[in-house]
Amino acid sequence: MPILDPKERATTATNFLAIPLRAQQRVCGALLLTRSGEPFPARELRLLRIYCNQAAVALGNAIVYERVENLAATDALTGLFNRRYLDGALERELARAGRSESSLALLLLDIDHFKSFNDNYGHALGDRGLKKVATTLSDRLRQTDVLARFGGEEFVVVLPQVTAAAALDSAEHIHASVGQTKIHAVGERTHVTVSIGLAMFPDQSDTPESLLDAADQALYHAKKLDRNRVCRFVQVEAET
């Protein structure tokens, strides 16, 4: 008889008890008990039912809270983390990098000429383009990386524990991957490109605000160079 896992089986117990945990008319779990010897007496069953009722309410509340937290931290269109989550995640990652004395990269991405794309193809295809870019970015990142929609057509990628050279390689790979992503319009296929600004912690900045500002300056420099490219903050410093 499977209990929690197909590999786990009740081989010695002579009594098996399963009590569902119901919250808001839905089963959200179960209490599973086994016992050798005498069956479960009525008094214990009454106590277990009381316990299960209380546990179900607590579990139901936890599930609702988790859903609300996920909604508050997630961008509705792309399913990525939103700006609110990014602010907290960036602080945590910088603190972790400081403790471990490791470097961290931040990429600020902007879809090139996105307003013109919307004007030419409509907002429905524009939304599809945002989703496509979000999926492409997600597929190219590690589990430890943080990806968020920064707002509008901008995205942020946080790359913990990377060197400046590795961060640049990742940025170039992301840039190329997005440029190769096809978006199906009516009767044709099109694509978008991105400009990327790259900044490093602790080389260029040591706070979330200054790191974002450095990446934004690098992104602005990429746009000045006719977009569709990756620029590092060090390039901005060298040319100003």
Q: What structural domains does the chain harbor?
A: 15-73 (no CATH), 83-239 (3.30.70.270)
| Per-residue pLDDT, 189 | 81
- CB of 203 closer than 8 Å to CB of 237: no
Q: What percent of the chain has pLDDT over 90?
A: 55
pLDDT at 1 over 50: no
* Proportion of the chain in helix, strand, coil states, percent, rounded to 5: 50, 25, 25
pTM: predicted TM-score of the whole model, two decimal places: 0.72
Task: Tell me the catalytic residues.
Answer: 153
pLDDT digits (tens, 9 = 90+) for 30-63: 888 888 888 888 999 899 988 888 888 888 777 7
pLDDT digits (tens, 9 = 90+) for 180-233: 988 877 777 888 999 999 999 999 888 999 999 999 999 999 999 999 999 999
Q: How many CA atoms lie within 13 A of 226 on its CB side?
A: 0
